[in-house]
Amino acid sequence: QVLLVQSGTEVKKPGDSVKVSCKTSGYSFEAFAMYWVRQAPGRGLEWVGWINPANGNTRQSQKVQGRLTLRSDTAANMAYMELSGLRGEDTAVYYCARDSILPGGGMDVWGQGTTVTVSS
């Protein structure tokens, strides 16, 4: 069974950094890209970034560019997202989601989400 299990709720102050982890199991971690998607309270889904665990290549949205670091640990089968310089608008549920590997295949397995609240 393919599972993505994320770290717990975070409460941060403006300017802080937050690190969210995504522990994977049930599949070959290096064979599938990992996406990060967030959802602000009452709002829609927003793509944050993407990492290829096989080579560490990443891409990120313009909205978080320069503040986002994506990493993967192939020995531990884990993906990490670190967002620095937090602002109120970064308050959201952050999801890791596995790429289905097919062209245009979408994200076929999702983590349970990690709530990040940024408040002074």
Partner 1 sequence: SYALTQPPSVSVSPGQTATITCSGENLERKNTCWYQQRPGHSPVLLIYQDTKRPSGIPERFSASKSGSTTTLTITDTQALDEADYYCQTWDYITMIFGGGSKLTVL
Q: Given the rule CB under 8 A, which residues bind partner 1?
A: 35, 37, 44-47, 50, 59, 61-62, 95, 97, 100, 102-108, 110-113
Taking the complex as a whole, the smallest distance from the CB of residue 19 to partner 1 amounts, in Å, to: 20
Residue 54 or residue 107: which is nearer to partner 1 going by CB? 107
Residue 4 or residue 86: which is nearer to partner 1 going by CB? 4
Residue 62 or residue 120: which is nearer to partner 1 going by CB? 62
Read off the tokens for 92.
């959201």
Burial, 105: exposed, middle or buried (Cβ in 10 Å; 0-12, 13-18, 19+)?
exposed
Contact 76, 104 (CB under 8 A): no
DSSP structural state of residue 63: T
